[in-house]
Amino acid sequence: MSIHLGPVDYLVIVSYLCATMVIGLWVGSYVRSGSDFFLAGRSLPWWAIGMSLVATDIGGTDLVGVGGDTYRYGLVMGNFEWIGCVPAMLVAGFVFIPHLWRCNVTTIPEYLERRFSSSLRTVVAACWLLLMACNLGVMLLASAKFMHTLAQWDMSVSIVVTALLVGIYTWSGGLRAVVFTDVLQGVVMIAGCLMVLVLGIYEMGGFEPFVDKVHDAVHARRQREKESRPLEEFAENGGIERTRESRSDRKSNHFSLVQPVDSPSPGPWPAILFGLALVVSPGYWIGNQSIVQRSLGAKSEYEAKASYVYGALLKTLIPFMVAIPGLIALVKFPELGHGEADRALPMLVGYLLGEGWRGLFVAAFLAALMSSVDSYLNSATTIYVNDFYRKFYRPHADEGLLLAIGRWTTIGFVLWAVYFAFQLMVVPAGLYTIFQTMMSFIVGPTLGVILLGMLSSRNNAEGALIGFIGGVFTSIGLFLLNQDFVADWLNIEPLFRIGQAYLYYSIWAFIATILLAWLFSYFGKPDAPEKRRYSISEWKPFEEAAP
């Protein structure tokens, strides 16, 4: 089932797109230099950055995917926005982001060169550039698939039009355009989702009846599964479902954020607490250039901190808007199986919303998509220009040249993203999954070297480089050992019991990075004082450091 869009819906969607373009191009008219393009001239206010952080973090596919996963597994998906964001954002906002802002860097790899070495900068930049370039294509394709399901839009047209629109305003205004269009996109996204939430809860007769109906729907689904499957299959899931079945109060785990170790959901509690809250989330909010870059463009250190705190407050609301509709859909459409759960949200929207309002929801989806694509586009450009072009080719390039190169590179990445999205349409689904898992390969090692660099002056450049490379290989190795075809080839069981084990890859990659870096640093020479002064404990502003 797809959403039927009428003329009023299209009017709403076109109005939103026009508003986005007007804001992006208007802001872009003030861009005069490379510094304006990459860091918005360090003039961004906290409220715009905070909203932009949240809008960037929620992609179009997340909006529909989280609804689908909540339909399948319950409110546990809210962990990815709550404990999977808020603690890390606050620690990042008070400790790490201000230090990066004080160091006056444009990219995370640039900081790693100042603190450690040029080699580490290049390796980290190459890994993130590869990830971002691939992600651009993945996001365009995934969103085009959703738009096809949602509104029967042609996938090829969706890919080209989205890339073109995002490309134009990012080309024009760089980071400033990205952040201010994100503000509009964030408002539209929140309004669209809030509308579905409020109408859905009203339809259920209030919150308490809604909770009871969810428990009943899960109970009924379990009964159906029990009748259609032999008992042995329940035991294969660690007996989780049998245990729940024996409960007499008919309450399900669908409202529980803390799930058992062997839960079939993507969020058993050790993975959420140790993998998500302590590794992936800090790595994402401290080490992901597309997130951190906007705070580096804040007008002051205080505004950089305030943006993260404001973002953390906004994050508290997000699961209510993106996850709860999945539970409402579970009550309204209990017949969907696990395989069709991603249809839950589009079906709910089609059922709840009238003409015009459906257009607002589609606009919210487009807003979520565009706010993520523009950030990755701008950050990929920033890394390429600063960490490769300027570093290796034109170290003394003036601001005008950097602006021109930045804009040309943006065009290059737009073309690449469209090409890659079309290529992904014809590759096997397994390869597509690999690209979606790539973040988990580098986020743990990136966090490891940043923490070691900022919190300790004893770790040296060789240790950090070996630690980072070792961490990346650890996560890739674990990923491979968890694939069925590799396990069959080696005649072993897949390494992890849960299907989506990317949180576990990140934990072990982080641990490997820390151990290797510490070991090689312990037996090696300490870095020179001009490197060590970029750690937080030995930080000296430039004027103090000068002889």
Partner 1 sequence: MTFLHWIGETIREQLLHIPMWVARWLFIGLLLVLMGWVVQLPVAAVTPPGRRSQWYEDLRIWAWLALMFQIVIYSVF
Which residues in this chain contact partner 1 in the complex, by CB under 8 A? Answer: 75, 78, 82-83, 86-87, 90-91, 93-94, 98, 255-258, 260-262, 269-270, 272-273, 277, 300-302, 305-306, 309-310, 312-313, 315-316, 481, 492-493, 495-497
Least distance to partner 1 from the beta carbon of 283, Å? 17
Toward partner 1, which CB reaches closer, 301 or 340? 301
Q: In whole angstroms, what separates CA 28 from the centre of its chain?
A: 25
Smallest gap from Cβ 247 to partner 1, in A, equals: 13
Least separation in angstroms between CB 376 and partner 1? 26
Q: How many residues does the chain have?
A: 547
CB nearer partner 1, residue 256 or residue 483: 256
Query: From the CB of 273, what's the least distance to partner 1, in Å?
Result: 6
Task: Provide the minimum distance between the beta carbon of 241 and partner 1 in the complex, in angstroms, as a whole number.
Answer: 16
The minimum distance between CB 443 and partner 1, in angstroms, equals: 19
Tell me the C-alpha distance between 370 and 177, whole Å: 12
Rg value, the chain, Cα: 24
Which of residues 39 and 314 has its CB atom nearest to partner 1 in the complex? 314
Q: How far is the CB of 262 from partner 1 (least distance, A)?
A: 7
Nearer to partner 1, 177 or 498 (CB): 498
- Using the minimum distance from each CB to partner 1, give the nearer residue, 191 or 309: 309
Q: What are the structure tokens assigned to 139, written together?
A: 């996001």
- The answer to whether the beta carbons of residues 143 and 368 sit under 8 Å apart is no
Q: What is the DSSP string of 338-377?
A: GGGGGGHHHHHHHHH--TTHHHHHHHHHHHHHHHHHHHHH
DSSP classification of residue 259:
B
Cβ-based nearer residue to partner 1, 294 or 315: 315
Distances (CA, A) of 456 to 98, 254, 536, 545: 17, 42, 8, 19
Q: What is the DSSP letter of 276?
A: I
Helix, strand, or coil here: 150? helix
Burial 132-142 (b: 16+ CB within 10 A, else e): bbbbbbbbbbb
Q: Indicate the DSSP class of residue 396.
A: T
Q: Which is nearer to partner 1, 12 or 278 (CB)?
A: 278
Q: Compute the least distance from the CB of residue 85 to partner 1, in Å.
A: 10
Which residue matches tokens 């509308």? 195
Take residue 494 and report the two structure tokens written for it: 């897949």
Q: Which is nearer to partner 1, 187 or 317 (CB)?
A: 317
From residue 380, how far is each of 190, 305, 437, 505 by CA, in Å?
27, 24, 18, 24
